[in-house]
Amino acid sequence: MTANNMSQLNAMLMKELRKAMNVASDKMLADMYGETGKFYTKGKPKSYERTGALGDTPRTTALTSVGNSVSFEAYLDLNHQYTTGSYPSMEQVLNLANSGIPFTSKNGYPARPTLGKKGFWEASEKKMERTLNQTMRKFFKKI
């Protein structure tokens, strides 16, 4: 396809950018699932039962186009509600699971550590950055 003017060229580029961002979004979601899933590969807790909720937290939003840009968000869903212990928020549990740094529970005690592979969010971010760069190079290598 050939562009005859700047408007057509811009439309063609935006179409390719949307395709690239869709591919990147799908791959990034897989990256996050892979890394959060690795959390469960370390340790076997004896004092609590794993719910697997952390492994279900990866999300991406739909693509948004504004002007000449296309974006989406990749994040961990904080909506899960725990019904054990002091009813911690998903954000508290994710931070504890990722960093190992305990939060103070509602009854004033530090949360017990979780058994699992730490650093899953940082690993996800690194993979997502690589995924975005590789995807953009693949779609725009001719430019």
Residue 7 resides in a domain: no
The pTM assigned to this predicted structure is 0.86
For range 41-49, the mean pLDDT: 82
Q: Which residues contact 65 (CB under 8 A, 6 or more apart)?
A: 14, 18
For range 107-136, the mean pLDDT: 92
Average pLDDT taken over every residue of the chain: 91
Question: Is residue 129 helix, strand or coil?
Answer: helix
If one compares 21 and 80, the residue with the highest pLDDT of the two is 21
Say if residue 143's pLDDT is above 60.
no
In terms of residue numbers, what domain contains 58?
13-139
Question: Is residue 89 helix, strand or coil?
Answer: strand
Say if residue 35's pLDDT is above 90.
yes
Q: What is the pLDDT of residue 131?
A: 97
Please give the DSSP secondary-structure letter assigned to residue 42: S
Question: Is residue 8 helix, strand or coil?
Answer: helix
Query: Is there a contact between 111 and 91 (Cβ–Cβ < 8 Å)?
Result: no
Residue 112 resides in a domain: yes
For range 74-103, the mean pLDDT: 87
Angle between helices 6-38 and 120-139 (to 10 degrees): 150
Residue 119 resides in a domain: yes
For range 6-21, the mean pLDDT: 95
Residue 26 resides in a domain: yes
Structure tokens at 75: 């994040």
Q: Which residues contact 80 (CB under 8 A, 6 or more apart)?
A: 53, 56, 57, 90
Residue 24 resides in a domain: yes
Residue 32 resides in a domain: yes
Q: How many domains does the chain have?
A: 1
Residue 4 resides in a domain: no
Quick one: which of 89, 134, 98 has its CA closest to 117? 98
Residue 105 resides in a domain: yes
